[in-house]
Structure 1
Amino acid sequence: MFKNKLFTKIVLIFTIPILGILFFSSTMVYEKIKLTQEFENNSFRFDYLKSAERLMISLEKEKILSLNYLNSKDLYKNLKEQQDITKEYFDKLKITLNNFPWKLEWKEHIEDLDNNFIKLEELRDRIVNLVVSSEDITNKFNLVNKRIIKTLVLLRFKDSTNSYSQNILRLDDYFNSNANNIEKLSSLAELTVISIQKELSHHEQNINLEKNISYIFLFFCFFTLIPLFFILRNIIFNEQDSALKIEKHKNIYELLNQANKFLTKTFKKDELYIEICELLKDNKDLTFCFIYDCVNKQVIAQDGELKEIIIKNKDSSSENLISKTIKREQNIVINNFKDENVSICYDKAKEFNINSMATFPIKKFNEVVGVLLLYSKEVNFFDQEAEILFDKLVFGIANCLEKIDYEDIRLQQENELKLSSFAFDSFAPMIITDNKNTIVKVNKAFCQIMGYSKEELLGQNPRMFKTAHQDRKFIESLWDDLKINGSWSGDVYNKKANGDIIALRSIITVIKNEEEKITNYLGQYMDISEQKDKEKILEYQATHDNLTGLPNRLLLLDRIEHAITKTVRHKIFGGLIFIDLDNFKAVNDTLGHDMGDVLLITVAKKIKECLRDEDTVSRIGGDEFIVLLDNIGNNSDDARRNISYLAEKIKNTLNNITHINGHKNISTPSIGVTLFSDSSVSVQDIIKQADTAMYSAKKQGKNAIEFF
């Protein structure tokens, strides 16, 4: 009843105006048809107008020839020909009049025209016999033309403008003036025809357009009314269905709200399943529901006949339906229970008013642990929106199950942390970070060696201790070991709160939960600064001269290797300067070894002052020094010139050491120089070349410079 009343009301509201429009359009079409018929009659009027135009011009020509004939009988032949033309035009005019739809109304005018032409025949005889005056000829011909003009006035063209009437008046004035100007008459007649032709053509186009529009409008109104009924019917029925769907979804929303309130409070799985079934039972659209617990192989539902049927038939189709849901891990919806026999409740569907059903997998940590089955009274109850809403309910159940597990794990971890806290607060420095590498715990020993308080460290990232020793390659290697092996050990240099660098031996261990997911990282440290300092001292002593502090032969050889590689890569020249102190033995013998050591220290200092920071000066033993230059020029000429200048500078600087602690210095330098630019010569060969050059300098009398 509701649908019928609503449909009737809306149909009346919409169709009454459309029926009015339909009536209006029909009337408009009828008027346009009548108007079109009137314009069709204009064609008769226009044919008459053209016939009359030709006749008037012919009469005027005949009149002029008749007047001329009175003066010259030689025009007789021309006059007869024109008379015949006039008669022909008059006959055509009569034919046009006989085709008039309203010729009965023009009967009097037709007879008048006939009488005037009869009189005109009499006039023609008199003209031939030359028994007529020119005045009679003019008056008679003008009279006939004026009778024709009178009929033109009576034509009454539909929608003609004033221009037509004005042109008719001009024609009438022409004949009143007794003019004999055939060109003027032709022009006036032609102007009359053209003006009315343009007006009729313009109006006829407008009328045809309006008539076509009227037809289209009538067609549109007529054919709109019928589809409108079906459209309105569909709209109303769809609105009715939408209202029912909204009501259904509203009930499901209320159920979700009640379920969410319960889900936030429960911490036991059994209570959760039972309470959900109780809530679903109160929904008026649902017939029955139950949850199948995959872990315990148990059916949770309201007690009753349907529950007993399901429990007794665990191996039947219902179990198969549950198995499909578990296997597919997705919803299964049956919107018409009568069409598909897939449930053990199929035979009882009519008895329990079951028309549709749906299954929803319940997941915990992405694993199906249960299945929710719902049976509804309504066909197509589980539409897309309803399915989404029940998915939200199942998602809430899954979250609650995960929350229960998390709570159990948390309690377990708390107990474990209580036990581990005793070990954590030992004398060994330790920190714990979460899986995002944020410090969550730190003991006193770590705070003491790093100089921070606990409050300053908690919530920070260990990268705050990073120094230049820990480059990108080092960090990537550390994280690779943690990822692959679950632990890393090695030495690190960390920055303390005061900016000092501390050396620590570190062991970092990955902590995982039961699902093998990383939860924390444990870092254990031991201060090895003293050990590192000892190692550095030993390393320094192994590579440097104890007296002068200059690199020794071992370090020099390594640097020469690097210098050779550099010259080859960059296509430059390197150089070696071999310096030997002349008379050094005499200094030692006369002044003592202490004075000899002072001289060696002074020489080392003076040579370093002559060099760049990147150059190397080395004491290779006794009174022998070697200077290494890894970039002395881009070509041999530049390299030779630059190293000559430097060797001369070193020689002059060492010669300026005139006294040693008040004693006169008798030692001078002998210098040998060599260049290298590729790897064809070994390190030992380069040193031998410089040594050979140095001995050449000694042979030259000492205190000299020689190139290899």
Structure 2
Amino acid sequence: MLKNTLFLKIIIIFTLPALGILYFSSVLVLEKVELTKEIDDTYDNLTYLKSVEKLISNFEEERDLSVKYFLLRNEFPQLEKQQNETTKSYNNLINIVKNLNLESKFNQFKIDIKKIDDFRNKIDNFSISIDEVFEGYNVINRVLLNSLSLMKPIKFAIEFNTDLSNVVDFLNFKEASYIEKSIIKIYLEEKKLDDKLYDIFLRNYSIQEINKDSFYNVHSLSSLQNFNIKFNEDYLNKIFILRNNIKNKIEKNSDFKFEDWEYISNENIDYLSNIYNNLIYSIEKTAMKYEDDIIVERNKSLIFLFVCFSTLISLLFVLRNIIFNEQKSFYKVQKHKEIYELLNQANKFLLKTFDKKRLYSNICELLLENENLQFCFIYDLSDKEIIANEGKLKDKIITQMDKYHDKTKDNIISKTIKWETNIIINNFKEKNISVFYENADELNINSMATFPIKKFNQIVGTLVIYSNELNFFDQEVEILFDKLVNDVTHCLEKIEYEEIRVKQEDELRLSSYAFESSEPMIITNNAGEIIKVNQAFCTTMGYTREEILGKNPRIFKSGHQNSKFGDELWNSLRIQGFWSGEVYNRKANDEIIPLRSTITAIKDKDGKITHFLGQYIDIGEQKDKEKVLEYQATHDNLTGLPNRLLLLDRIEHAITKVVRHKIVGGLIFIDLDNFKEVNDTLGHDIGDALLIMVAKKIAEVIRDEDTIARIGGDEFIVLIDNIGNNKIDAKTNITNLAEKIKNVLNGITHIEGHINVSTPSIGITLFSDSSVSVKDIIKQADTAMYVAKKQGKNAIEFFD
């Protein structure tokens, strides 16, 4: 199922992050659950703190009353009542310790209530000293204060832990203040302190200052004000004096009474209790806020976990669909890739193909390399032809050709041509639209498509493709085949452009031959400078090309015609675009020559004159126009040999002669092999020189009464009106003559310094009566000549 790495990547990309998020959310939920437990620890700490503080406060009050009782030594019912309250607070603390499962840890701080009762009895009986009273209560409260270390710090409640620590510092400060209160009472009553109490006082003072500084350092002034913490200046002033007196061991000032200190110290204790209550209120608010934050975070994490879980479930369904569709998508991509590769292969030979049928054949052959394509063919509309790979499927299509030609019969190809659009049939068996419909199962055809082939926006054919896959021709495949058809269109247009180019080259070559003919010609630019001249003009005028090129035709001016003649000539060129008439030019040897001239203005697409073409006929050597016309009509301009017209007349006379004298006449047809190569490689001037030399060489080996004629570009005919009295002798004689002609022409090894690659192919025919026409005689010799060419050229063949 997992056949490609892309699908594996999809699973990894989508599943692993989702699982990671689910894991993270689960850890987050567990963490929040753990934090929820810390809420209970927070409230347990507060419960324990308040119960310990309550017991400490009771012991502090009991200590103060015990000191008072010890000093006054009279009945003091408040002490007994306070002792009961202390015992009650103690029992309450023990119950709380049990509820909080702190018994094992609390044992090291546990105070034996029996020892406390014994200690109280000693106080009641005055069996201990007052400093022992202090030591006893101080030890108890110190143990209780140290037990506050049992409070577990809350891991993430940093603010709560800080507040809790501050409360502990404050309780230490409050305990020290209580001790100071009681010692000062003793000082006021006894007017001095013994050494032990003095040491206790000093030590307590240090503890008091340390815890006060710790408390004040943590809280800012604004924070203290929020706790209603105010400085009692009267108390501070008096305590300052009393501390100095005690430190300096000065006896009590009689102006400061015991009752005054009782009042002001109680007021200070109330003030400290108020601070404690505010601190507890603040820490409870912090705990509640922490609880609310934890609950909100827990709920958020639960919601996040639910969302992650839902997302993962949804993702599993998505992945299930991906798994279900992945192979289908993979096949689709693979199919497109294979077709695209076919297009790449097609483009390689499209660039090199210049034949339409070969192009169509290659396309069909290439398409069938795809295993999903069962058959294809191209219907050529212009040639009414089916192009396809050979086989029974092609044969069956060809039997239906009449339907494709008949415009009245509707079929899928005619619809494609008429609508000029693709036709896609992705379920071949839905309707009968093909000659293969009834054999679709046997032929394994399940879908088909037709694509119109255009050339210059005109339909010229149809590409028909059959596939063995259902729904093979999806939108992407159709686009790819459209691209293929578009490439075929460009190739067809390229082929036609090439045909046009070749035709134009032929026309240009013919034009070049015409320009290099025996008729004198020159071409000038629009400024009148000669830029091209043919050899005939040079010969006529007695100049070389180098002497003429770049010059103005005024160099030929003879003065025979006045300036009015020149004005009329140029006006005619500007207005009509051409001029024709007779001119008298001066040759290089100063001889005046009359010429019939035609000058044509050559214009560009905007109608602007770019060049002038001058064509001339030398009429000075002819005595009259009729003789000139007769000569031109019967002779070749280049070689001066009789042309076809004169030759035909002489053959007629030869036939009459052989019939009258009962002799045999003969015709030798000579064609120059490789003459085109001479012209193309060496130029027409060399070609013309070769023709003139051939004419001269043939004339050297024939009799004066025989006729040699040039009837085409490189075709010559030798007419012998008496080659023998019978055909045997005639054949022998004419063969000898043909051999001489062949040898003499092969003897032309160089033409104006260039190697001659031309050889003669010779055809011979004999005639002895009038049963064969003139044209047939020439045709017989021509046929024999072509047989010679087929034999490998440079050969002689008889017409049989």
**TMscore range, shorter length:** 0.3 to 0.5
TM-score (norm: length of structure 2)? 0.43
TM-score (norm: length of structure 1)? 0.47
Name which one, 1 or 2, has greater alpha-carbon Rg. 2
